[in-house]
C-alpha cells in the first residue's frame, strides 16, 4: 500500500509519535478538527444532494458522531485495516478517503470509490486501509478478524479495527468475533458506536444493561467506555488499545457513547423525543465545538480550515457531477458469468 494520503497530507504517525500525542500537539488537534469538519460538511452536502434527488438509494448520516471516527482513526496507521458499517462515510474520511471518489460513488459514477457498484453502504478504498462499509448489521465484526489474522500470520504489526453500532452488539457475530479475537490474541479493536438507537429502537429496549463494554470481561479482554463526543478522549483510549494490539497483547472492546443527530436514514421518520434532540443539539454536546474548546483552536484557524474544506468539497461535487455513469454493457461483460 502506498504510504501516503491521496491528497499528499502527512499521515499522523509521520508528524508525531504516540508519546508526543499524549501531550496533544497543536498540529494533531487541527488535523482532527479538520477531519471532523470534513465529515460534517460532506454529510450536510450529501443530505442536500439526497433531498434534491442527485443521490439515490439510502444514506445513513453520522452527523454528531464525528469524534468516534476521527478519534479512533487518528490512532491508526495507513496500513491498519478499518471495517465499517452502513453508516460509514465518516470512517472513510477519517481514514484518509478521497472525497471526489466518495462523492462520485454516492452519485453512482464510474469514478466512484467502488466504481458505482457499492454506493453509500459499500464504499471501498483499500489503498487507505478502508476495507468496506457493510449493509449487514454486525457483518464487519468477523471480516475484521481476517485482516487482524493476516497481519499476525505475516508477522506484521498492523491491526484491524471494526466499527459497529449498539444494535449490532446484539448479533451473534459479536460474541463469535470477540471470543476468537481474544482466544488468538488478534490485533483487533472493536469500536462500538453507541448512538443510543438501532434504527428507531432505543438502546434500553434492546439491551438489559447500561453498557456494552463490560461484556469484554467475559472474553478476558479490556472493555472501555468513553465519551464518544470527546475526540481527544476517544483518541487516547483508541491509542492505548492500538498500542496493546500492536504489542501482541490482543483485542480491546471500546464503547463510545454518542448520539445520532440526524434521522436513522433518509427514508425513515424520526420520532425521538423533542427534548432529547434539543439536548443533543446543544453546542456543549457538539463534538466539533468540544474539540475547538479543549484544543484551544483560534477563530482564525477554524475559519482557515473551514475555507479549505469547503473548497475541497466543491471540487468533489464538481468532479462527481462531471463524471460519467458506468457503462452497463461493460459492467455485465466484466462481472456477469454463469
Partner 1 sequence: MRMLQYIQAINEALHEEMARDASVFVIGEDVDQNGGVFKTTQGLVERFGARRVRGTPISESAFAGLATGAAMSGLRPVVEFMYFDFVSVAMDPLVNQMAKIAGMSGGQLQVPVTVRAQTGARTREAAQHSQSLEAWFLHTPGFKVVMPATSYDAKGLLKSAIRDNGPVLYIENRLLYHETESVPDGEWTTPLGVAEVVREGRDITVVAIGYARKLALAAAQALEGTASVEVIDPRSLAPLDLATILSSVSKTGRLVVVHDAPASCGFGAEIVRRVVAQGFDLLDAEPLVVGSAHVPMPFSPPLEDACLPSTASLTAAIHKIINR
| Contact set with ligand TPP (CB under 6 A) | 86-87, 135-137, 165-168, 193, 195, 197-199, 260, 264
- Look at residue 334 and give the partner it binds from ligand TPP, Mg ion, partner 1, none, a contact being a CB closer than 5 to 8 Å depending on partner kind: partner 1
Contact criterion met (CB below 8 Å) for 251 and 245: yes
Q: Which is nearer to partner 1, 216 or 261 (CB)?
A: 216
Report which secondary-structure segment, H or E, holds 61. none
* Exposed / middle / buried, residue 141 (Cβ in 10 Å: 0-12, 13-18, 19+): buried
Size of the site for partner 1 (CB under 8 A): 43
- Continuous segment of H or E residues that includes residue 292: helix 287-294
Q: Should residue 153 be labelled a site residue for partner 1 when binding is judged by CB under 8 A?
A: yes
| Contacts for 317 with CB less than 8 Å, ≥ 6 apart | 45, 49, 103
CA-nearest of 41, 37, 95 to 295 is 37
How far apart, in whole angstroms, are the C-alpha atoms of residue 196 and residue 279? Answer: 14
What is the number of the residue whose Cβ is closest to ligand TPP?
165
- Using CA atoms, how far apart are residues 196 and 64, in angstroms rounded to an integer? 12
Distances (CA, A) of 49 to 18, 58, 228, 297: 39, 12, 28, 31
Is 169 an interacting residue with respect to partner 1 (CB under 8 A)? Answer: no
Residues that bind Mg ion (CB under 5 A): 165-167, 195, 198
**Given candidates 151, 242, 245, 253, which one binds partner 1 under the rule CB under 8 A?**
151
Is 176 among the residues that bind partner 1 (CB under 8 A)? yes
Cell 434527488, residue located: 53
Q: Which is nearer to ligand TPP, 167 or 251 (CB)?
A: 167
> Among 108, 132, 228, 250, which residue sits at the site for partner 1 (rule: CB under 8 A)?
132
Q: Which is nearer to Mg ion, 80 or 193 (CB)?
A: 193
Q: State in angstroms the smallest separation of the CB of 138 from ligand TPP.
A: 6
Residues between 87 and 116 with contacts to partner 1, criterion CB under 8 A = 112, 114-116
CA 301 centroid distance within chain: 24
168 touches, from ligand TPP, partner 1, Mg ion, none (C-beta below 5 to 8 Å by class): ligand TPP
C-alpha cell at 307: 475555507
Residues in contact with partner 1 by the rule CB under 8 A:
81, 83, 112, 114-118, 122, 124, 126, 131-132, 134-136, 138-139, 141-151, 153, 160, 172-173, 176-177, 179-180, 183, 334-338
Amino acid at each position: 500500500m502506498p504510504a501516503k494520503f491521496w491528497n499528499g497530507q502527512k499521515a499522523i504517525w509521520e508528524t508525531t509519535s504516540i508519546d508526543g500525542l499524549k501531550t496533544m500537539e497543536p498540529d494533531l488537534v487541527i488535523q482532527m478538527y479538520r477531519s471532523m469538519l470534513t465529515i460534517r460538511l460532506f454529510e450536510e452536502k450529501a443530505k442536500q444532494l439526497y433531498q434534491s434527488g442527485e443521490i439515490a438509494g439510502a444514506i445513513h448520516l453520522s452527523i454528531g458522531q464525528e469524534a468516534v471516527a476521527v478519534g479512533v482513526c487518528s490512532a491508526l496507521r495507513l496500513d491498519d485495516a478499518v471495517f465499517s458499517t452502513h453508516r460509514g462515510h465518516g470512517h472513510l474520511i477519517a481514514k484518509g478517503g478521497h472525497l471526489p471518489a466518495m462523492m462520485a460513488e454516492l452519485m453512482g459514477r464510474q469514478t466512484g470509490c467502488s466504481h458505482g457498484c457499492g454506493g453509500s453502504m459499500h464504499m471501498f478504498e483499500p489503498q487507505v486501509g478502508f476495507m468496506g462499509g457493510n449493509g449487514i448489521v454486525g457483518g464487519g465484526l468477523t471480516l475484521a478478524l481476517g485482516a487482524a489474522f493476516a497481519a499476525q500470520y505475516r508477522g506484521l504489526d498492523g491491526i484491524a479495527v471494526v466499527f459497529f453500532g449498539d444494535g449490532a452488539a446484539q448479533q451473534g457475530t459479536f460474541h463469535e468475533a470477540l471470543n476468537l479475537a481474544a482466544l488468538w490474541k488478534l490485533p483487533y479493536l472493536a469500536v462500538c458506536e453507541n448512538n443510543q438507537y438501532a434504527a428507531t429502537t432505543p438502546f434500553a429496549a434492546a439491551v438489559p444493561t447500561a453498557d456494552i463494554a463490560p461484556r469484554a470481561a467475559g472474553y478476558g479482554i479490556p472493555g472501555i467506555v468513553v465519551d464518544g463526543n470527546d475526540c481527544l478522549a476517544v483518541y487516547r483510549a483508541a491509542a492505548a488499545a492500538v498500542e496493546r494490539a500492536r504489542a501482541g497483547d490482543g483485542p480491546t472492546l471500546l464503547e463510545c457513547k454518542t448520539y445520532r443527530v440526524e434521522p436513522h436514514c433518509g427514508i425513515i421518520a424520526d420520532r425521538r423525543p423533542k427534548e432529547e434532540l434539543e439536548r443533543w443539539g446543544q453546542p456543549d454536546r457538539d463534538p466539533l465545538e468540544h474539540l475547538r474548546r479543549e484544543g484551544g483552536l483560534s477563530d482564525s484557524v477554524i475559519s482557515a480550515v473551514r475555507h479549505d474544506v469547503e473548497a475541497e468539497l466543491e471540487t468533489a461535487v464538481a468532479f462527481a457531477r462531471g463524471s460519467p455513469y458506468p457503462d452497463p454493457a461493460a459492467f455485465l461483460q466484466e462481472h456477469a458469468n454463469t
